């Protein structure tokens, strides 16, 4: 339950110190730290888990923890690399678009959407995610419209 999270985190940290470390323990400590908004600890533990296994979802979670720790540049570098290596992960496109929108880079966000749309042919899972993300982008940064000079 919610009140047991600090005790669980302490138990997992003790297991790490006693040499019972594994990718799973580091991942679990990282996830727990993330839910407690202890982003520096989450970052450290995701990095340690990645030393045991380089998995796309671990890299994604590391980037999310970096974002939580306010290291947007490092998070975006990981997200952009994941977009290259794992173009089927809709969550990565969403993270990149969100990152661009946070800093006002709407042109870059739209370019990612175009790329996502093109990738949807090879990865059908992206189709629904693209539509939802396009709607979110349009709401955040509407596409400029031309005005007809002869209109009354």
pLDDT over 70 (residue 5):
no
136 pLDDT band, cuts 50/70/90, is confident
pLDDT over 80 (residue 98):
yes
Structure tokens at 29: 């400590």
């Amino acid at each position: 339950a919610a009140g047991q999270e600090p005790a669980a985190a302490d138990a997992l940290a003790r297991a790490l110190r006693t040499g019972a470390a594994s990718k799973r323990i580091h991942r679990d400590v990282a996830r727990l730290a993330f839910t407690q908004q202890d982003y520096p600890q989450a970052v450290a533990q995701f990095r340690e888990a990645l030393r045991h296994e380089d998995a796309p979802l671990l890299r994604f979670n590391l980037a999310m923890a970096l974002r939580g720790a306010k290291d947007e540049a490092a998070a975006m570098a990981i997200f952009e690399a994941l977009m290259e290596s794992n173009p089927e992960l809709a969550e990565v496109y969403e993270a990149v678009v969100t990152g661009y929108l946070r800093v006002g880079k709407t042109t870059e966000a739209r370019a990612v959407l175009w790329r996502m749309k093109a990738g949807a042919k090879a990865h059908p899972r992206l189709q629904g995610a693209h539509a939802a993300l396009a709607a979110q982008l349009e709401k955040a940064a509407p596409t400029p419209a031309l005005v007809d000079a002869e209109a009354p």
